[in-house]
Chain A
Amino acid sequence: MTHLAILISMVITSVLAAQSRNFIYAAMWLALLSATVAVAMFNMGAPWAAVFELSVCAGLITVLFAGTASMLGKGTKYAQNERRFMKYLPLGLFAFGVCLWYITYPYAALLKPSQITQTTPMMVGDIIWQLRYKDLIGQICMFVAGVLMVKAFFGRVKDE
């Protein structure tokens, strides 16, 4: 039942994050969502991913969101029609969930775990550095591209 509680709290925190009027509160709900996902990761035996999730998503990204929201101040409350459809989110989510359950539950029995024959069990570090090293190179390229983009956004323009 612990797993059920985790799943329910994930859905509730996501809805509250989406619906929050104040963006600092939304960042806090997003941090709680990340923390809940991290608990699910710990529960399912993925401690390294959980630590990453907790420190980066629940920590760094929350700070970035809250910092931006407080920097922009009242500017974040832009748009008259912004929250016009947001109040229907719980209703829409419930209707979507009921439809999804009705359509997909007959096929739930087909979702059975397939057996993977692992010849040699690999550690997380080995998988990242040996098996998925191309992903790592792509990630480094994305970091470089991100730094260059942020530099382009906030770079000083020389007067001509």
Chain B
Amino acid sequence: MNEILNFGAQFFTPDNLYLDWFTAVLLFFTGVYCMASSRNMLRTLLGIEISSKGCMFALLSAGYTIGNIDFAQAVIMIMIGIEVVIVAVGLGLIIRSYAQKGNLDILDLKNLRG
């Protein structure tokens, strides 16, 4: 019993890079599944957000493990800024497309003209 507890205490810590990356990959998979399984543009954008959370957590975990968390923080802060731009532009595109087409089908974007 003590061996199991010791294993748990050692395994489930932030030092365990494998567990963190495993979770990051699961988050990424959830986001990609969300993007791939729906034609709704809002849900696609939601999938992008969930995937980016996975990437962000992988970056954070790598920075923590190699002892260079400040560098990881800097990259994550820049990533968050870019994420906001993507969401703002994506939502603008969605609202505009809905005003013109009356639905949120991503396949309707094929007909976009400048």
Point out residues on A near B: beta carbons under 8 Å.
1, 3-4, 7, 10-11, 14-15, 17-18, 23, 26, 30, 33-34, 37, 40-41, 43-46, 48-49, 52-53, 56-57, 60-61, 64-65, 68-69, 71-72, 75-76, 78-79, 81-86, 89, 92-93, 96-97, 100-101, 104-105, 108, 111-116, 118, 121-124, 127-128, 131-132, 135-136, 139, 142-143, 145-146, 149-150, 153-154
> A61 near B87 (CB under 8 angstroms)?
yes
Point out residues on B near A: beta carbons under 8 Å.
8-9, 12-15, 17-23, 25-27, 29-31, 33-34, 37-40, 42-43, 45-47, 49-50, 53, 56-57, 60-61, 63-78, 80-89, 91-96, 98, 102-105
**A18-B31, A89-B30 known, 17 other contacts, Cβ within 8 Å:** A7-B20, A18-B43, A40-B60, A44-B14, A49-B76, A52-B80, A72-B42, A72-B104, A78-B105, A82-B39, A96-B29, A97-B22, A121-B70, A127-B71, A136-B78, A146-B88, A153-B92
Task: Pick the residue among A11, A65, A79, A143 that contacts B85 (CB under 8 A).
Answer: A143
> A93 near B29 (CB under 8 angstroms)?
yes
